[in-house]
Structure 1
Amino acid sequence: MNPLNLPFDDDEILKGLRPWIECESPTWDAAAVSRMTALAARDLAAIGASVEILPGTQGFGDSVRATFPHPDQGRKAGILISGHLDTVHPVGTLEKLPFRREGGLCYGPGIQDMKGGNYICLEAMRQIQKAGLQTPLPVTFLFTPDEEAGTPSTRQLIEDEARDKRAVLVPEPAKEDGGAVIGRYAIARFNLLTHGRPSHAGWALKDGRSAIAAMARKILEIEAMTTEDCTFSVGVIHAGQWVNCVSSECRAEALTMAKTQEDLDGGVAAMEALQGEENGVTFEVTRGVTRPVWSPDNPGTLELYEMARKFSAELGFELTAGSSGGGSDGNFTGAMGVPTLDSIGVRGKGLHTLNEHIEIESLSERARLAAGLLMTIGA
């Protein structure tokens, strides 16, 4: 049976996906992410997987690893489906962005990034199992809790799981044209800190040295370093408790995206060179988690892409591919040299916003693409 002809149904997939969207799972709420992990584990077990809950570390939620019965389990390199269950949306976002269907679109927190993609891969395995088919290679799902924070607690887990795999499929959202990703730019994070001198803002303003004002100037300096090949942005800032106090400390977080390792090294050096003291305020830069450059020239990855491109043609669309910004856990597996095909998840727009939505008809389209790959890799 041609796996592209399996009976996928958008309405049925959406029905199964809804509980995932309504189980809010922001990265920094470990209990919420663990509830989502338990839900995914239940659905994976229901379609025949052997499921293992991996307790969270470093304050993050749990992960789930699921393996499907296969005669070559442990004897042949298999396929890893790697996804994350955490989202950027805090608990309560459903009040502003409820799960709702409007025409050909469906809205909800995390539906595009990346619960929709995770679920269509699960649905692909469901239909494969239901049809009595056997994938050529063993299949493992690994869903993790901390991708939106840079994967600080599960990078080693992902790399260990991918190390002996024939292929890794990452159902992150499809690119705007529906394309896939076969390489990613590096992403480095930085923790920023200014130390000032406190004073009473109304009585002795001139005696103080504002850590907030100094950080504001540094932010402008940092973002002005952006080029086409290496970008800089500051997305988090924390400071102050009283408006009538000159702030003595300000913390912020910055992110840089670089197209090559050389660009990344230059960006890191530029950030670290900003450290020092000026007008009585010290500025400190500490490098945080980094996603390595994943180069789009791995022969195994290109083979995966060609396979997917042929399936997409049968499904009636052209699957483009190339390197992309916006890091994912594919950075890790791709940089290891493991053949990796990323962004084969659902089509949509507005990820990380209150307009996040998917194109409903892409559910069956991408599920068929996933099924085709699962039934062909290693055949």
Structure 2
Amino acid sequence: MGILANTVSVCHFQVQGELPKREELFAWACTQLAGHRFTPIDQGTEEFSIGWVHLDDPRLAEFDSPTACWRENYLTFTLRRDRRAVPSAVLKAHLERAKEQFLAENPSFTKVPKQKREDLKEAVRAMLLSQTLPTPSTYDVVWDTNTGMVTFSSLSPKVIEMFEDLFKKTFEGLRLSAFHPYARAEKVLDEGNRVLLQKANKASGDSYLELIKENQWLGTDFLLWLMYQTMNENSEYRVNQPGILVENDQFVGYLDDRVILLGAGDNGAQKITVAGPQDRFNEVRSALLNNKQITEATLHLETGDDHWKMTLKGELFHFASLKSPAVKIEKDNTTDPDLEREAVFFERMVVLDKGNQLFDSLFAEFLKLRLGAGWGEQEAAITGWLNICPSCHSALAGK
């Protein structure tokens, strides 16, 4: 599903590098996108094509004016990848027929020579490719040039790598930096708490891979704290990050429905999935007592009548299956389609920005506790709660 759908999986990046002047930015972006626009392969035998198309219509790849990708402070475009492939079984069957035909036409041969087999294989493959329509895939990109934040609508590592590579080729001098938990923590904290975060940083360098790997505690502790809060507190918080919602507005955040834990087992890493509405999280608590850690869970955020639901992946803070409040635009028979599309886009951005603001506020609330002097007391409370798990009595008695 695209980024304009009410349910979408997204990850976030920050753009690193110097942009052109504001008055030149969008004309420059159009030129760069046009240089790497998508080229159709419907009429040929090419196996692969990748490039940029319009967000509103993946059939359009002409970036001849800023309106093709410019909406106020946003740059919008879509990565399109078309692939055609021949199933190996089909290729094998056609190749066998081609070899049989060759032997029938050349009775002096008892078998097809090696080079001829290769030639036949390429010819058969090209013939089958010409009869196969390419399969398109699209992934939306929204770049907020005010904040430098890029939202991308895929969580596939291969697709993300493809996107990062094409972005770098398209916008020379710029690069994408993953907005991982440590980077998000730096963004949501004030200067004093950023100093505490730096002291808690377990990475020895600035490599984003190291910052992710060595600071996985940010995700696991956050999810553990959220689970405890869900079962023992009222789950009410206050908006503390800048954005559309008013500071100190109340909202609700809690875990439910699905929790995934990971830990070492006798035969290597062991993954446990607990699904369905939870009562006391007893199965999860039992797993935690056996040295498992929560790596992802379904997170709910609510304010007023609006409700956001996502599967939060703790290692990278990717938002999987993010379901947001529906965008509703009042229209009539006189509504201009272009204006309607713009209205839908801006309303959708408002919804997504609110969800990000709520998530950041919740994460900041956790970080201030986690990095402060009160974390030891909080840890003791969490440990005490885990140890009264009814289904764990027998395990605890043997310790």
TM-score, normalised with respect to structure 2: 0.23
Larger Rg: 2
Structure possessing the higher relative contact order (Cα contacts under 8 Å, 6 or more residues apart): 1
Larger helix share, 1 or 2: 2
